Amino acid sequence: MEREIDSAVKRGRAYWFVDGFAEMGAGVFLALLGAVTLIRGIAVPAGMLPWLAATALDIGTLKAVMLLAFIFGVWWLRDRFTYPRTGYVRGGGVPRGVILVVVRNIFLIAALPLLLLIGVLLLVPAARIILPALAAWLPLGIGILFGAFCYLAGEWMGLRRFRLLGFFILLAGIAVAGGQSALDYPALSQDSPPAQIISRMFSGVGWMVSVSGIGFLVSGLTTFLRYRKENPKPSREEP
């Protein structure tokens, strides 16, 4: 009996992801965030403070725009596609406050460690001895944290695809870290220009976040196609 109750509770938690729209929205956000990080890391100027401020502005603007697009876009799609087919009603999904917390946590996992490390580079010169290695270790750390987050979310909602997504993100972190190690360790040292080190760090983080976004997009698209196949026609007429 307890198992049946737990299963019902998990289905209730997971129903907001039944059509794949939320995952596709998260995938677009992460892919764009990774692209911005990659572009910003292509050429880091010697004067890093203005560049850092511009980068923070880019990320903050993208976050605000994508959050609004995510909230209104997903609800608009569900009003016209999901609710007529499976009878969901507005207000039955994840509360807006929960969405804000999730987006905030994604941003913290993906961007805040990078910005903090740049601050360490600027303010604590003695810490620069470890920074060349972080070009590889930072993507791996993000992969571990983000992968664990997705896996635990899958356990909480009883969604196997989120658990698989967590493993995928972990493997992506390992792959990006391995690639960065092969490229960076022969070329970087504590005496390397800070701009070169930061450029490599941004490259690794950008690839890590972009690949995670692609994983979310594929998961969401697969879920959407299955949902559309199982619910080809609305169960009620549109008003």
Does residue 88 sit within a domain? no
Number of domains forming the structure of the chain: 1
CB count, 10 Å around CB of 208? Answer: 28
Confirm if 119 and 98 have CB atoms less than 8 A apart: no
Confirm if 151 and 163 have CB atoms less than 8 A apart: yes
Residue 158 has a pLDDT of 85
Question: Which value, in Å, is the radius of gyration of the alpha carbons in the chain?
Answer: 20
Does residue 67 sit within a domain? yes
Residue 77 has a pLDDT of 85
| SS3 assignment for 113-170 | HHHHHHHHHHHCHHHHHHHHHHHHHHHHHHHHHHHHHHHHHHHHHCCHHHHHHHHHHH
Which has the closest alpha carbon to 88: 205, 185, 231? 231
CB count, 10 Å around CB of 68? Answer: 10
Does residue 36 sit within a domain? yes
CA distance 176 to 168: 12
Residue 101 has a pLDDT of 62
Residue type, 235: S
Does residue 7 sit within a domain? no
Residue 170 has a pLDDT of 94
Does residue 43 sit within a domain? yes
CA distance 19 to 78: 8
Does residue 224 sit within a domain? yes
Residue 192 has a pLDDT of 64
The domain containing residue 56 runs over which residues? 19-83+94-230
Residue type, 202: F
Does residue 238 sit within a domain? no
Does residue 239 sit within a domain? no
User: Tens of pLDDT along the chain (239 residues)?
Assistant: 667 666 766 776 677 788 889 899 999 989 998 888 888 877 666 666 777 777 777 777 887 788 788 888 888 888 888 877 776 544 444 555 555 666 666 666 556 666 666 666 667 666 666 666 777 788 888 889 889 989 998 888 888 999 999 999 999 999 988 887 776 555 555 566 667 777 777 888 889 999 999 999 999 999 999 988 888 877 554 44
Place of tokens 């976050």: 63
